[in-house]
Structures are given as structure tokens and as C-alpha cells.
Structure 1
Amino acid sequence: MPPRLPIRHISSIYSIDSILTLLFVQLRFPARGCHSLPNIQIATKTFAVRKTRQTLARLPGMEKPPGQRRSASSHTAKGVRGVLRPSASILILSPTNQVLLLRRVQTSTSFASAHVFPGGNLSSFHEGGPLNLEAPEAHQDNELYRLAAVRETFEESGIVLACQRDGSGPLHLPSSVIEAGRKEVQASRIRFPDWLATVGGIPDTASLTPFTRWITPLNMPKRFTTQMYLYPLPLSSPSPSHESIMPTPTHDGGIEHTAAAFDDARSWLARARAGEVILFPPQYYLLHLVSELLTGPPPTDVLDTTGYYQAQRDALMAFLRTTPVVGREGGKVHRTAGIPWADKVMSPAVIFTRGADGRVVLGLDKPGPELERSERGGDWERVVLVRFGKGGPREMEVRWREEVVREEREAKL
């Protein structure tokens, strides 16, 4: 569960009454997503005590929210080279454990034409802020990152990751309502949580599982500190009376993306190796990890397909919860093995260039310059092999570091 935020961090998201309601909801449902919420009415108390309102209004950060501005998803102010931008992204699993990727527009200033997970920058209008990026706490999972991840997914794909306000389960909305709300949120005419409230929902941030953080290296013109999450959509039930609804992703009309689709993780990787799609190292690496457990559709003789997909999810969640994180028997146990996947921070760094094929070997154990004096770290065991060119990253592989280093050493003998 994410750490509770100081009141100053959420003050610009909601009105004072909304903050009190939010805090009440968090107390009633402290760590459960809407897929498992009890059917209990959430009491939206009216806290009209004047003294309480006056006390809150005097707290730091409770000043009037800034004027409306364009969404951070589509109109981000130009930043100074090297300045970090907080962002969040989600690996969304379909009821058949496929992964959603969006194809970015060719004119994008970051990840142009690449396939990416839905996500984007935190918005001072929607989530509040700004975060103090000099503080280590700014590079940890918290409610601001979760809200941004859910909002950006809605803006970019039209998928609503929300619970019904009465606690009865996931929120399902007609496509016409979704598209109308999407335009309002994209244009920052209404805050995302406030729009959800108008249609009877609350953001399902509790169902997000933290799954690594990525900090862009110093040599890149745009830098991000990106919190990654995993979100499984409800499985299809074998009972017709409990049929789940599979949302259909759509692109955002060409603002940032031109396509949105689910596919098996192994299929995305194969398409990247064949040059059919462009993936960058973070996306390729994470797809590689989940592909080892989400192996695709069941054999034809499997009758309980729901149980099959649930077993895949259980194996993935067990993998994410296991510490120490040692993936290879007999491999070196590095200090980063003691860092859970939820807390791993990776800032890709070149280890060397292979003499055999000229591909770059990227290490993933360093957390980036902002956290170099902390105990944070990433994945020492694995490396990413990649060839960078004008067409984007190509010929990528995720391999064991010790094997790659040994091969290079032997090639020089």
C-alpha cells in the first residue's frame, strides 16, 4: 500500500470538503481494490463544521488551486535540459493476460513512433504538486503517481480504471459518456477525480501494483522519474451471470497516439525483434519479465480457461512479492537482490559495446544520479543488449549479465 500523503500534497486536487470525503473513504477501504470491495455504501459525510474548514484552510498548501491549464498529457511546458519530470505508467492486463500498448505519434518529442504503456506526466491541475524532486521520497510510489497513472490511461486509451462509489465493484460506463468525459479531462476543464464523481466513481488506485521505477540517464534531453505499475483487469467468469466487461482501448485522436491494442507479451517481443514495432529498453525489459509467466493462451484441451489465466496471474504476483530477487540459480547474489520489485529503481547505463556484433550492453543496477547516495537500486543480474539507430532501438535481448560478460571476455582471448 502506498504511504499516506501529507495534506499539503492533495490540497490542490480537491476542495476541502472533497479532501475530507477522500480521507474518510481511505479509512473505510485502506488497501483493497474495487475488484474485491465489499458491498457497503460509502458514507459521503458532509463535514460542515466551520471550525474544521477554517483550520484546514490555514494549513500550508491549502491556498486556492492554480488556474486551469492544458493537460500535462498533451501540452507540457518545455523544461530545462536534464530536469526530471515525474510521470507514471501502467502495464494493463486484459482478461486473457494480454498487455496494452499504444503507438506514439511520429512527431512526438519522446519515444516517437514507439509502442509504449499508457501513462504520462503528473499534472498540477489534476494531481496537485509540485513534487520536490530533490527529496528521495519523490521517487517512491505514492497516491499522486497512482492518480496520474489512472488519469493518463483514461486520457490516452479511454479505459476507466475506477470503482463504483457505492463499493459494489468496477465502474462500467457507456462509450458516449467515456468519450465526452475524456475530452473534458484532456482539456483540463474538469479535474479527473471530480469527473469520476459525477458519474458515480472513484479512481481504483488500490488495485495498482508497483513494478519498478525508471529514471532517465543524464545524457538524454528529456528526463523522467517514472513509476511503473501493473493492473489486471477482471478475469472473464465461467458463469454467464457474472460476465466481465472487456474495455476496448482507443487512441486519443492523434494527440499523442495513433493506435491502441492488446497482445500477448511474447507476441510484442517477437514483433519488436522482427522490426514490426519499436520498443524502448524499459518496455522491452518489463515485457520480457512478464512474458516468462504470462505465456499466452491455454492448450486446446484446457477447459477452465479462467483458472488457467488466474494461475498465470498468481505466479506473476508471487514473483513480484519474492525477495531476495535472484532469477538465476547459482548466479551472483548482488545487494540489489534484496530490493523488492516494487522498490527497484533503474537508470540504464552502458557497461560496454560488444565486439562481436556492436550492440550496446546496458546495465540496470544503478538508480540514477538523484539517488546515487541512497540504498536504492535496480536489477544487477540482467542486462539489455540493444543496437541504437535512426529507426529506434533494434535487436534487443534481455540476458544474464554474467553470461554476457563471460562471452565478451572469452572473445578477447
Structure 2
Amino acid sequence: MNGIPLPGEFGERARAILAGDITPVPARDAATVALLRRVHGLGGPGEAEGELEVYMIRRKASMAFAAGAYVFPGGSVDPRDADQTVAWAGPAPETWGRLFGADTGTARGLVCAAVRETFEESGVLLAGPSADTVVADTTGDDWEADREALVDRRLSLGEFLNKRGLVLRADLLRPWSHWITPEVEHKRFDTRFFVAAMPPGQRTRDVGGEADQVAWLPPARALGRANDGEIFLMPPTIRTLTELAAFDDVAAVLASERRIVTFQPRAAEVDGEMWLVIPGEDYRMS
């Protein structure tokens, strides 16, 4: 059986949902970004020169969803993310909608949420003064004040970009996958995954908030640490890291052709036990 056992309360909830006794909560639109870079120089022990790395954050143990998990920056779409006044460079929202199977308004919100959440949770901003430039540094106190205002929802992404005269660089993002949280969860998300390269000159920083640790990790090493029980990864993260581990550099990831497939783990009863089945996976989760 390929999947995750659902003991206790989750198992009973799964049975109730399958029986129609409980209505699953709606899944909220969300976006997440695997931010990539290539290591230069000698690096540390066991680190190959030119090795691909991905930026990950560990969610605080107090979080209601994915507590303690290592994830990519991301979160729910803010209704204001669909603001049509945002200056935009790159594929139009209609194009993103076709790629992700979403209407134009939802697609606009997803791309804006991807840019906003990446800045909120890493300090990296996929925007620039013009359609072919990108901000070189976002580490000053004024940037941090704006980042905190975005996190607290005192400032929308459109307001933030407009006041700084910045253009959202949708062309720096690439579509990667689509995951919907299983119906058994109390909080559910309809999440589109993106990938993006670390912009030249910018650097990530420990920005706090929902994360208590941040790390740049080669995908294969993150998977190895998860297999050894050192870190906790959720199925969408495992699959994304597994796919990224097949690439040698960032450019190859960005140039890859993707067919966006929707994955939604589902509950199933097998021999009297409840399991969460992961579609398309050939490994057993434990």
C-alpha cells in the first residue's frame, strides 16, 4: 500500500467524510515557490561546486497547518492579490490561467501571491524598476518595514509595488505543479507550485514570522535528511524535491517543459484501516 496511515481522529474523520457524514472544508487558493540557486566556490563538506540548492523554511511547531515541516515559501491568496493596477511583465494572467486550469482573476492572484509570499518569507523580491530589471538589494530598514506591513496585511502587494515604482516580474516564475490538500484535513489549500531563480544581487535572510529555521539545501540532501528522520517533509514537498534532484543547474529547471497535473491525496479504507493514498507515487510514506 502506497500512502500514509490515518490513525485515531484523522482515521475517524476520514471514515465520516467517505460516508457523507462530514462535509470537507473548502480548499483556499494558495501559491508556493521553490526558490533556486547554484552554489559557487568550494562550499562546505560534501557540497559539490555548482550544486543546485533550494530555499526551505521550517514552519513553527505552533502553526495550525504543516507544523514543523520544511516547506517552500508560500501561502494563501489575499483577495487584493488580484489587483489589476499592478504593473506586470511577462506571461499574462490569461496564460497562467491556461497553464494552471484557472480563470484569469484567480491566475493573477496566484502569481501575485507567489511574488508576495516569497518576499514575505525570504526577503527576495521578484520585481524591478522596469520590465527587464530586478531589484538588487532588499535588506534595508525601509524594505523590512514594508515586508512587515505586507505580512500584517496593512499593505497590499499592489500598494507596495506602486509606491516603489516597481514592476512584477511574472517572467521570472515558471509553473511546476498543482496540489490540493486532502479532504480529511481541517485546513485545506488549492496550491499551485512555482519555481524561480534567486535574483542576482539579492540574498535571503531569516525573516521570522511563520518560520523558526531557514536553510538552503540540495534537493537530494533534503530528501536524505527526511529519510533519516532529521527533518519532516510533506508529500508535495517530497515529490517536488525528487523532481528537482534530477537537474544539475537552475537554467535546466527553468527550461524544462512541464505538464501541470493536479494531485489530491485521498482517504481509502484497506483491510479495516484508513490510509491517505498519494496519487502517482511508488513509495511508501511512514
User: TM-score per shorter chain, which class?
Assistant: 0.7 to 0.9
Aligned-residue offset at 1:154: 1.1
Displacement after TM superposition at 1:194 (Å): 2.1
Q: Tell me the TM-score normalised to structure 1 length.
A: 0.51
Partner of residue 217, structure 2:
263
CA contact (8 A) 1:92 1:231 kept: yes
Q: Which residue of 1 aligns with 2:180?
A: 215
Q: Residue 78 of structure 2 aligns to which amino acid in structure 1? A: S
- 1:185 aligned partner, one-letter code: L
| Aligned equivalent of 1:233 | 198
Q: CA deviation at 1:168?
A: 4.7
Against the structure 1 CA distance between its residues 206 and 259, is the aligned structure 2 distance closer, same or farther, given a 3 Å change threshold?
Answer: same
Structure in which a larger fraction of residues adopt strand: 2
Q: Secondary structure of 2:242's partner?
A: helix
Once residues 181 and 66 of structure 2 are traced to their aligned partners in structure 1, the CA distance between those partners, rounded to angstroms, is: 12
* 1:104 corresponds to which of 43, 51, 59: 59
Q: Secondary structure at the match of 2:182?
A: coil
Q: Are the equivalent residues in 2 in contact too, given 1:85–1:121 (CA < 8 A)?
A: yes
Q: 1:120 is matched with which residue?
A: 75
| Contact kept? 1:143, 1:205, Cα under 8 Å | no
1:155 CA drift (Å): 1.2
Q: What amino acid is aligned across from residue 349 of structure 1 in structure 2?
A: R
Q: CA deviation at 1:193?
A: 2.5
Q: Is the 8 A contact 2:226 2:233 kept in 1?
A: yes
Partner SS for 2:231: coil
Q: TM-score, normalised by structure 2?
A: 0.73
Question: Which deviations, in whole Å up to 9, do the C-alpha atoms of 1:210-242 show, x marking residues without a partner?
Answer: 1111011222211111010011124xxxxxxxx
Query: In angstroms, what is the RMSD of aligned CA positions?
Result: 2.9
Closer, same or farther: CA 108–164 of 1 in aligned 2, 3 Å: same
The one of the two structures with greater contact order (alpha-carbon pairs below 8 A, sep at least 6) is: 2
1:261-312 Cα offsets, whole Å, 9 max, x none, are 2111111111111111110011011101110223xxxxxxxxxxxxxx36xx
- 2:277 alignment counterpart: 362
User: Secondary structure of 1:137's partner?
Assistant: coil
Structure 1, unaligned runs of 5 or more: 1-79, 130-135, 235-243, 295-308, 322-339, 365-379, 388-413
In structure 2, distance between residues paired with 1:140 and 1:211: 19
**1:245 Cα deviation after fit:** 1.4
Matches within 5 A, 1:156-195: 156-165=121-130, 167-176=131-140, 177-195=142-160
- Asked whether 1:88 is paired with 2:43, we answer no
1:144 match: 109
Cα gap change, 1:214 to 1:173, in 2 (>3 Å): same
> Alpha carbons of 1:174 and 1:110: their partners in 2 closer, same or farther (altered >3 Å)?
closer
Gaps of 5+ in 2: 1-22, 40-51, 85-100
One-letter amino acid of the counterpart of residue 284, structure 2:
L
In structure 2, give the amino acid aligned to 1:169: T
* Structure number, greater radius of gyration: 1
Quick check: 1:362–1:383 contact (8 Å CA) kept in 2?
A: no
Gap change, CA 1:142 and 1:270, over 3 Å in 2: same
Number of aligned positions between the proteins: 234
- Identity, % of aligned positions: 24
Letter in 2 for 1:105: K
